[in-house]
Structures are given as C-alpha cells and as structure tokens.
C-alpha cells in the first residue's frame, strides 16, 4: 500500500511517500523558518503563500524520487487541522485536486494524531497502551492511547504551549525565532540553578500546565538587570528557564504515569527535540520513553501518512475533507 502524506498546518511544507506500515520511501520538507525568523514569528498569510509555491513542486519531486506515478498511489493523507486556516486550505485543496485527478482516495488527518505516530516511525516496539506527550509551538498535552483511534486527553496547558513559551522567552532575551533551539544552544554553557524560576501547577493533582507565569518571571528578571545597568547573564537565564520548563513537563508526565499505571511514554512535537527534555525522559525510572528522531519531532509528512493509513485501515473513509483550524476530535 502506497500512501502520499501532505503536511501544511503551520510553516513547514512536508510531502512523503510511505510503503506499507512504516517503510519511508521518500520524505521531503521545505521549512519556512528563515522566511519567518526576520519577523520574529510565523506570519499566517505569508506561510500560506509559501505553501502554495512549494507544495506541488515537492509532490512532483517526491514521486520522481520514488519512481512512481500519482495514479499508482493507494491513498492520499492530508492534515485537515488544527493549524493556520490559510496553510491548511492550501494543503487540503491541493490534496483534493490530486485525489480527483489521479482517482486516488483521500483521508483527512488530525495533526495531533499525526504527532502520536511520529515516534512509531523509528520504533517497532511502541504499541498501545502508551501515554503521548505532545509539546509543540501550539500544543502541550498528554494523551492516553489505549489503541489507535482510542484516545483520551488527560490534560493540557491552560495558557501558552511549551514551544510558545520558549519562543516568547527568546524574544525577551533578544534571541532569534524559533526560540527553543537558540535557548537550548546557549543553555549548554549556563547554570540551570542560577535562577529558581517558579514551576506553575507543579504540585497540583491534575494533569495541567501553565507557562505564561514562567515567561513573566523571566521578563521581570531581565528588567531587574536592565534597571541595575548590569550585564544580562543570558546563558544562565536560558539554562534556568529550560530547567523550569523541563521540570514542569516531567512532573506531569510522572503524574500521568502514576494515575494511569501506564509505564510507556512517547513524546512528539518541536520541544521533544530539546536535549534536556530528552535526557530527562530517557533516564526516568518510572517509565520507558520512546522519542522520535530529532528531524521527526517537528512537523513532517511521514507522521501524517502513517496516521492517515492507520485510520483508513480502521475503516474511516475520507468523507468530505475540509480544513478545520480548531479541530478537536482526535480520532
Ligand atoms: O512541532 P513544531 O515544529 O510546530 C508546531 O506544530 O508548533 O514545533 C515548533 C516549536 C517552536 O516553538 C520551537 O521553539 C520549539 O518547537 N522547538 C524547541 C526546540 N526545537 C524546536 N524547543 C525547545 N528546544 C528545542 N531544541
Ligand atoms: Zn505540530
């Protein structure tokens, strides 16, 4: 079974071809990071235009690389939401047109269900039940996966997502977008205990997160240095901030493990590329962790192809695939 995956929910244009359950025939990505970084964040209108420019050439390149024609595909899987409306429209409408032109069935995929599949690409032994920590620029949540298609949201952030917190913290520190990789780079030579930032909601008995207070605490600390006229210890601030975010995520992963008794944890989304978080997850005694390779932590089309194929084989038909920026239903 050959599945074409298409991902355009935010600022990455991804196209992939999957053979069978997990054989990656081709995986292409056109990142817009450089285009958006000069604005300090993703500009939705600009992102949509870039998808429009990039998507069809990427589809052509992917099929050429695999040596197949569009009509030989068995399924097209496209991200239908959540995400930026303009970006989703480009992906969904292109996929609909290709589906009609080639006579290939189409299925819409929830982007978050895609993230659930990202660690599975590299790990044959990750099977439900497991807990999935999704940590990206738009989401911070823990999902209980009892089976594919059987998902329960255990809890999520009350305000900013973890990646958003990294991006906002980076802006406060005058670092470039996206903030996560920059903060991680500078944290390497900083002291993670130089500043004890508060870890909001750490000790509650609910799976819930809050990162906006952390960002404000960082802002006050920076202002204090500015008012004193002293040099800002950027590396120590980065290391301490990263330490607090990691602590917040780990405390709730451990709580979810305790509440459910499920001792298998996977992670996905841009923040799961963070070395400190990966180290904390991998070395935890309470559970075993499965992490995607770093290039599959961020948005990609292979996870969409895998999730779409799995959903199709579970009996979900494509129906009318429409873009939905605030899609909630995971299955
Ligand atoms: O999953 P993703 O590519 O896109 C969304 O769906 O949001 O995640 C992007 C987010 C950004 O906020 C970025 O700062 C963060 O992931 N990120 C990181 C790292 N790499 C990307 N955060 C911390 N450490 C990293 N190494
Ligand atoms: Zn994502």
Q: How far is the CA of 134 from the centre of ligand 2 (A)?
A: 8
pLDDT tens for each residue of 156-170:
999 999 999 999 999
- What pLDDT band is residue 31 in, cutting at 50, 70 and 90? confident
Quick one: 75 and 176 in the same domain?
no
What would the mean pLDDT of 168-190 be, rounded to a whole number? 96
Quick one: 160 and 180 in the same domain?
yes
Quick one: 50 and 176 in the same domain?
no
Q: What is the pLDDT of residue 30?
A: 87
What would the mean pLDDT of 249-273 be, rounded to a whole number? 97
Q: What is the pLDDT of residue 331?
A: 65
Q: Is the pLDDT of residue 155 over 90?
A: yes
d(CA 269, CA 253): 15
269 alpha carbon, closest ligand: 1
Q: Is the pLDDT of residue 114 over 90?
A: yes
> Is residue 331 situated within a structural domain?
no
Q: How far is the CA of 269 from the centre of ligand 2 (A)?
A: 5
Q: How far is the CA of 244 from the centre of ligand 1 (A)?
A: 16
Quick one: 110 and 246 in the same domain?
no
pLDDT tens for each residue of 64-105:
999 999 999 999 999 999 999 999 999 999 999 999 999 999
Domain span holding position 261: 127-294
Quick one: 272 and 149 in the same domain?
yes
Give the residue from 107, 74, 91 showing the smallest Cα distance to 15.
91
Q: Which residue has the tokens 């008012």?
A: 227
Q: What is the pLDDT of residue 20?
A: 96
Quick one: 20 and 146 in the same domain?
no
Q: How far is the CA of 134 from the centre of ligand 1 (A)?
A: 11
pLDDT top residue among 330 and 131: 131
> Is residue 23 situated within a structural domain?
yes
> Is residue 249 situated within a structural domain?
yes
Quick one: 94 and 131 in the same domain?
no
C-alpha separations of 34 from 12, 195, 196 in Å: 11, 32, 33
> Is residue 321 situated within a structural domain?
no
Residue 321 CB less than 6 A away from ligand 1: no
In the chain, % of residues over pLDDT 70? 99
> Is residue 48 situated within a structural domain?
yes
- What pLDDT band is residue 244 in, cutting at 50, 70 and 90? very high
- Which tokens in the block code for residue 48? 């949509």
- Which tokens in the block code for residue 27? 């995986």
Residue 137 CB less than 6 A away from ligand 1: yes
Centroid of chain to Cα 69: 30
In the chain, % of residues over pLDDT 90? 85
What would the mean pLDDT of 267-273 be, rounded to a whole number? 96
Q: Is the pLDDT of residue 330 over 70?
A: yes
Quick one: 151 and 176 in the same domain?
yes
Quick one: 64 and 207 in the same domain?
no
pLDDT top residue among 255 and 318: 255
> Is residue 325 situated within a structural domain?
no
What would the mean pLDDT of 46-56 be, rounded to a whole number? 93
Q: What is the pLDDT of residue 300?
A: 95
Q: Is the pLDDT of residue 276 over 70?
A: yes
Laid out side by side, the sheet with 130-135 consists of: 150-156, 140-147, 130-135, 264-268, 288-290
DSSP-derived letter for residue 209 is B
Quick one: 269 and 307 in the same domain?
no
Quick one: 252 and 197 in the same domain?
yes
- What pLDDT band is residue 317 in, cutting at 50, 70 and 90? confident
Q: Is the pLDDT of residue 234 over 90?
A: yes
Q: How far is the CA of 212 from the centre of ligand 2 (A)?
A: 20
DSSP-derived letter for residue 214 is H
Q: What is the pLDDT of residue 253?
A: 98
The H or E element that residue 34 is part of is helix 33-37
Is the separation of the CB atoms in 319 and 75 below 8 Å? no
Q: Give me the number of domains the chain comprises.
A: 2
Q: Is the pLDDT of residue 45 over 80?
A: yes
Q: What is the pLDDT of residue 287?
A: 98
Pocket test for ligand 1, best of 87, 168, 271 (most atoms within 8 A of CB): 271
Q: How many residues does the chain have?
A: 331
Q: What is the mean pLDDT of the chain?
A: 94
Quick one: 145 and 213 in the same domain?
yes
d(CA 36, CA 172): 18
Centroid of chain to Cα 8: 13
Q: Is the pLDDT of residue 193 over 70?
A: yes
Residue 82 φ/ψ, nearest 5 degrees = -75, 165
d(CA 73, CA 91): 17
Q: What is the pLDDT of residue 141?
A: 96
CATH number for position 50: 3.30.420.40
> Is residue 318 situated within a structural domain?
no
For ligand 1, atom 22, which residue shows the shortest CA distance? 180
Pocket test for ligand 1, best of 165, 176, 270 (most atoms within 8 A of CB): 270
Residue 273 CB less than 6 A away from ligand 1: yes
- What pLDDT band is residue 34 in, cutting at 50, 70 and 90? confident
Q: Is the pLDDT of residue 32 over 80?
A: no
């Amino acid at each position: 079974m050959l599945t074409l995956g298409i991902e355009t929910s935010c600022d990455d244009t991804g196209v992939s071809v999957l053979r069978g359950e997990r054989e990656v025939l081709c995986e292409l990505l056109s990142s817009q990071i450089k285009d958006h970084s000069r604005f300090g964040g993703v500009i939705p209108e600009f992102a949509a235009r870039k998808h429009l420019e990039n998507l069809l050439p990427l589809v052509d390149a992917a099929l050429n690389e695999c040596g197949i024609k569009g009509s030989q595909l068995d399924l097209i899987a496209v991200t239908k939401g959540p995400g930026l409306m303009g970006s989703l429209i480009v992906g969904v409408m292109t996929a609909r047109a290709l589906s009609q032109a080639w006579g290939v069935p189409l299925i819409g995929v929830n982007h978050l269900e895609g993230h659930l599949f990202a660690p599975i690409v590299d790990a044959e032994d990750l099977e439900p039940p497991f807990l999935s920590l999704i940590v990206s620029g738009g989401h911070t949540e823990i999902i209980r996966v009892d089976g594919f298609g059987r998902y329960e949201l255990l809890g999520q952030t009350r305000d900013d997502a973890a990646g958003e917190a990294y991006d906002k913290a980076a802006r406060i520190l005058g670092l470039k977008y996206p903030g996560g990789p920059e903060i991680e780079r500078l944290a390497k030579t900083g002291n993670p205990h130089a500043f004890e930032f508060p870890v909001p909601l750490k000790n509650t008995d609910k799976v819930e997160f809050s990162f906006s207070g952390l960002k404000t605490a960082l802002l006050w600390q920076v202002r204090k240095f500015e008012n004193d006229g002293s040099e800002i210890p950027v590396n120590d601030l980065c290391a301490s901030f990263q330490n607090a975010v990691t602590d917040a995520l780990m405390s709730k992963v451990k709580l979810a493990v305790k509440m459910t008794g499920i001792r298998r944890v996977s992670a996905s989304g841009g923040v799961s590329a963070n070395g400190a978080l990966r180290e904390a997850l991998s070395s935890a005694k309470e559970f075993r962790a499965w992490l995607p390779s770093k290039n599959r932590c961020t948005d990609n089309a292979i996870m969409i192809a895998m999730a779409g194929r799995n959903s199709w084989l579970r009996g979900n038909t494509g129906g009318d695939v429409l873009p939905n920026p605030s899609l909630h239903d995971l299955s």
